[in-house]
Every structure is written in structure tokens, then in C-alpha cells.
């Protein structure tokens, strides 16, 4: 198994009911209350602002579009 070149924030820190996590190209990780969509301009995930919360800062990631993760069951 190949591990991704980034560390995923710990799900125990996610707000209750926020079941999505993704990283933007600049390295910032966000929790989402709804499933986000790829931003039209590239480099970011999009969701209504009230359904997005900064999780942590990370290293820039050129494969940011592969980071969308749903909360484990």
C-alpha cells in the first residue's frame, strides 16, 4: 500500500456532523458539512461558507484534487 504524500487531520477533531475533509492546493485542510465540489478556477474545493471550516495547515499539494475523504463509518 502506498501512503499519500500528506498527513490527514485526525477525524476526532472534526465538528459533529461534518463528514467531509479535503485539502486545497495551497496545503490548507478544511472540514465540510456538505460534500464539496472542485472549484472552477482550480486549486480549491467549494462549499457554502457556513459548511466549511479550517481543519489545519499543511504542505502545498499538487494532487489536492485527490484528497476528498468522507468520514469513516
Residue 64's pLDDT is what?
95
Domain assignment present for residue 69? The answer is: no
Cβ(26)–Cβ(16) below 8 Å = no
Strands 37-38 and 52-57: unpaired
> What pLDDT was estimated at residue 6?
67
Query: What is the reported pTM?
Result: 0.88
Q: State residue 2's pLDDT score.
A: 47
Domain assignment of residue 13, yes or no: no
> The cell 490527514 sits on which residue?
8
Q: What are phi and psi of 5, to 5 degrees?
A: -80, 25
Please state the rounded mean pLDDT for residues 22-46.
Answer: 96
Give the domain range for residue 25: 18-52
In a domain, 41, yes or no: yes
Asked if residues 14 and 27 have their Cβ atoms less than 8 Å apart, the reply is no
Q: Is the pLDDT of residue 1 over 90?
A: no
Q: Residue 11 pLDDT > 90, yes or no?
A: yes
| pLDDT tens digits, 41-65 | 899 999 998 999 999 999 999 999 9
Instruction: Give how many domains the chain has, as a whole number.
Output: 1
Amino acid at each position: 500500500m502506498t501512503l499519500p504524500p500528506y498527513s490527514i487531520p485526525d477525524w476526532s477533531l472534526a465538528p459533529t456532523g461534518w463528514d467531509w475533509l479535503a485539502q486545497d492546493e495551497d496545503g490548507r485542510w478544511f472540514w465540510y458539512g456538505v460534500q464539496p465540489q472542485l472549484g472552477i478556477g482550480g486549486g480549491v474545493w467549494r462549499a457554502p461558507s457556513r459548511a466549511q471550516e479550517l481543519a489545519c495547515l499543511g504542505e502545498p499539494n499538487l494532487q489536492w484534487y485527490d484528497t476528498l475523504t468522507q468520514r469513516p463509518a
